[in-house]
Chain A
Amino acid sequence: MLSIKNLNAGTGERKILNGINLEIKAGEVHAIMGPNGSGKSTLASVLAGRKEYEVLNGSVEFLGKDLLELSPEDRAGEGLFLAFQYPVEIPGLSTTNFIKAAVNEVRKYRGEEALDAVSFLKLMKEKMALMNMDQALLSRSLNEGFSGGEKKRNEIFQMAMLQPKLAILDETDSGLDIDAIRVVSNGVNKLRSKDNGILMVTHYQRLLDYIVPDFVHVLYNGRIVKSGPKELALELEERGYEFIKDEVNVGQEA
């Protein structure tokens, strides 16, 4: 479903991604791990279409389309979803109105009818129950004054509402206590299916106890330097990122 080939990207003078190659098939869960500054969040941002990043080289194909040619909203329409590491607070925009606009624009893009008020409410109630979310959050301004956990829940709630084909979770576990991690990962797991792909970006192995990946990739200096099964994450947890750095550096010297 997603095919990244030799992706090079950066901002201004700084090159951050140095030739990423990654294939994700429907039904697969991939985790990208790596030390701070390795380019994990940049990769997530580039895939979602954040303007600050410039793609210098390479290609990304998503469900047969050239992803890099699409605007961020069209990427969402095609079925890509990014759960933000830092969800944005928008005072004055109610969470309900925001989600309604999003759901209906995405439906329009997919050639579906806009949801009427009753069906929309029904869908919303169902997905809120999934995320253990308090109804009161929905009438509040989007993310304004939400706790870290509420923000991340809101991200996965939006994901549930938009029903993406590929979800990218950018450090979704950062700053969450154990209960929040359970709720969030439970939400993600319910959305797993043979038709959907998930790309998790995380610094720690912790989240992978709850959302078990099929593949783990290690990102270092803007490149995937090691890939393996889920056990690789445990090894990283035990040995830290230092051994990866050493391996890479030795490899370069040779």
Chain B
Amino acid sequence: MNNIDIFREPFNRLQSTDADPGLGAIREKAFTDLGKMGIPTVKHEEWKYTRVSSLFSKDFQLDVEANDTSVTAGDLDSLRLPGDEQANSLVFINGKFSFQLSRIISEHIVVMPLEEAAKNEYAEIVLKHFGHSSQYLKDGIHALNTAFIQGAVFVQVKKGKLLEHPVYIYNITDARGRSVLAQPRSLVHIQENAQAQFVETYTSIGSDASFTNQVTEFVVEQDAVLEYYKIQNESSDSNNVSTTHIRQVGKSYTHTVTISLNGGIVRNNLNIILDAERCESHLYGLYFQDGQTHIDNHTLVDNVKPNCFSNELYKGIIDGEAAAVFNGKIFVRPQAQKTNAYQSNKNILLSDAASVNTKPQLEIFADDVKCSHGCTIGQLNDEGLFYLQSRGISEKNAKALLLHAFAEDILEHIKLQPLREYVDGLISKRLDFNLS
């Protein structure tokens, strides 16, 4: 059992300073749940290969003060991703949403504090959908985020509107002189027949350690389209548990690409809840890890209603002493007939000390479905290597070309061109391409 007493004092402080009664009750319940469940150890089935509890022996500071102004617009400018100039940006500093640093250029998007949305015309949506992820993630880490909700944000893309500019979400931790625990929280509502692209990234400023424990819940309505890109390229002192919970409540289309290139301990929970007939969802992921990084992708596709389609492809390149975990669950409820669900996970290990644990998990309770899954763990194909070398390409460059080709399968699904070029550049640099 983990000692959660370290959270008692900041929790009491938060509850006494931030007096919103609705949120207060939600936090109170989550804190009780946290007490019951504790921080998961490797004995928890869903955390078997990811020792997240080790992070709690460190002295991470949880700020509960209302506003953090330590990060300036200037700091932010150096962290912006390509394509940002034409984008809306939502900025979280140490887990709290910053209106000051955020920039909303589209008029088709609404952004406001979550507790405000819970009281105005958005109340019904918030009450209906907020916290849906708690039904799926029953562990202390998730409860910890909810217990400390502060500076959370509500985002809505308006009905029938196509967001011409993507939304870039920056999760920034200010680890200058102290270690920080940040817990961003948001609820994003994609209205009927709306279309939007989101890009989310995580960055730490300063040389101390950081730990971001984030929960983002998306609700996708009838005929809406959501594209979501997550880019993780942090320092090895930056740890991340990132939950993206996407609930498709009307016939809709979602497309997610998760790119994990660097970090300390990184755990992604991606839940796709297909809660209406004829939903379609595409899940892509690429992890390219080196050093002692640890990447864990837990995905869930829950087929609640019939006639849905999902396709999932995650690929990994693991080098050095890095460790990767893939756990892909497909759940088909009894009434979800005619489900089409596909999943594949492919890994290349580049060193003896690198490791991967991959586990496809199909739980099918309907009898008229098409589901498949597969996983591979291997090395670079010798035949391909020889083919390239026989054309005069050096062994080093041939390996780089083959690894890039392996990654390309995922990169091609990044539909935002500047972002794709950026990620491609990061990967080519890592591969040390030297093609004159």
A102 is an interface residue with CB less than 8 A from chain B: yes
Contact A108 B436 (CB under 8 A): yes
Which residues of B in the span 360-394 have a Cβ within 8 Å of any Cβ on A? 381-384, 386-394
| Contacting pair B384 A72 (CB below 8 A) | no
Stretch of B28-36, B73-81, B395-403 on the interface side:
B395-403
How extensive is the interface on chain A, given as a class?
20 to 34
Contact flag A93-B389 (CB < 8 Å), given A73-B395, A101-B401: no
How big is the B interface, by class? 20 to 34
Q: Smallest distance from the beta carbon of A93 to chain B beta carbons, Å?
A: 4
Task: Say whether A92 contacts B390, CB under 8 Å.
Answer: no
Expressed in whole angstroms, the Cα–Cα distance for A90 and B406 within the complex equals 9
User: Knowing A87-B387, A88-B387 touch, does A102 contact B402 (C-beta < 8 A)?
Assistant: no
Closest to A100 in B: B435
* Cβ contact of A71, chosen from B384, B395, B397, cutoff 8 A: B395
Known: A84-B387, A104-B436, A105-B397. A92 touches B392 (CB 8 A): no
Look across to chain A and name the residue whose beta carbon is closest to the beta carbon of B405: A92
Task: Please give, as numbers and ranges, the residues of chain B lying within 8 Å of A52 by CB-CB distance.
Answer: 382
Q: Does A243 count as interface, using CB distance less than 8 angstroms?
A: no
Q: Which residues of A contact B388 (CB under 8 A)?
A: 90, 98, 101-102
Assembly CA distance A93 to B397 (angstroms):
13
Report if B59 contacts A (CB, 8 A).
no
Q: Mark B40-74, 1 if CB is under 8 A from A, else 0.
A: 00000000000000000000000000000000000
B333 sits at the interface (CB 8 A)? no
Given A49-B390, A76-B392, CB of A92 within 8 Å of CB of B407: yes
With a cutoff of 8 Å between Cβ atoms, the chain B residues found around residue A88 in the complex are 381, 383-384, 387
Q: Is A65 engaged at the interface, CB distance under 8 Å to the other chain?
A: no
Which chain B residues border A37 with CB–CB below 8 Å? none
CB-CB < 8 A to B393: which residues of A? 73, 101-102, 105
- Residue from the list A77, A84, A87 in contact with B392, Cβ < 8 A: A77
29 sampled A-B residue pairs with Cβ under 8 A: A49-B386, A49-B389, A49-B390, A50-B386, A52-B382, A72-B390, A73-B398, A76-B389, A76-B392, A77-B392, A81-B390, A82-B390, A88-B384, A88-B387, A91-B408, A92-B407, A93-B401, A93-B402, A93-B405, A98-B391, A98-B401, A101-B393, A101-B401, A102-B388, A104-B435, A105-B397, A108-B436, A109-B392, A158-B391
Question: Residues on A close to B: CB < 8 A?
Answer: 48-52, 71-73, 75-77, 81-82, 84, 87-88, 90-93, 97-98, 100-102, 104-106, 108-109, 114, 141, 158, 162
